């Protein structure tokens, strides 16, 4: 489905429930996934009814790639992760969104994917600090 520039953007409630908003980049709404096991953010293009990356107009696809690079650099800088996983699965939530997950050898899911592994561990008292660190790194 191609983006309809006249249609309003609406965030899927399941993405909203994953954690707090960090802010907005030129194209994407950025959210933290509240899970102490991983440094994890999600980019959601603010366009209506998108499912696949190819649904974005060519110019927006380029912007998305730049925002992935920017967010990935910020995540690596703040987390000190060894590897950055980037994924746009959409099997559970069809709204187009891109996961960026900082990984380390020996983390809770290493070396496999983080999706569906174990139980989420909320950051608790560390949530606000992580939010502020990532907002600063992303200039949000």
Quote the pTM value: 0.95
Is residue 3's pLDDT more than 80? no
Nearest of 105, 102, 108, 110 to residue 133 by alpha carbon: 102
pLDDT band at 7 (very low <50, low <70, confident <90, very high): confident
Q: Which residue in this structure is represented by tokens 């900082």?
A: 102
Is residue 2's pLDDT more than 80? no
Q: Tell me what percent of the chain is helix, strand and coil, each rounded to the nearest 5.
A: 30, 20, 50
Alpha carbon distance 9, 11 (integer Å):
7
Portion of the chain with pLDDT greater than 70, in percent: 96
Tokens at 94, concatenated: 């069809």
CATH number of this structure's domain 13-138: 3.30.428.10
Tokens at 103, concatenated: 């990984």
């Amino acid at each position: 489905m191609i983006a309809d520039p006249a249609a309003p953007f609406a965030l899927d409630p399941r993405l909203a429930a994953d954690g707090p908003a960090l802010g907005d980049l030129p194209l994407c709404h950025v959210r933290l996934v509240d899970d102490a096991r991983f440094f994890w953010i999600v980019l959601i293009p603010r366009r209506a009814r998108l499912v696949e990356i190819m649904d974005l107009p060519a110019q927006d696809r380029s912007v998305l790639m730049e925002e992935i690079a920017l967010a990935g650099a910020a995540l690596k800088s703040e987390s000190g992760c060894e590897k950055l996983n980037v994924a746009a699965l959409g099997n559970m939530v069809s709204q187009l969104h891109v996961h960026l997950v900082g990984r380390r050898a020996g983390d809770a899911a290493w070396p496999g994917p983080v999706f569906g592994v174990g139980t989420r561990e909320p950051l608790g008292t560390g949530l606000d600090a992580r939010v502020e660190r990532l907002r600063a790194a992303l200039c949000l």
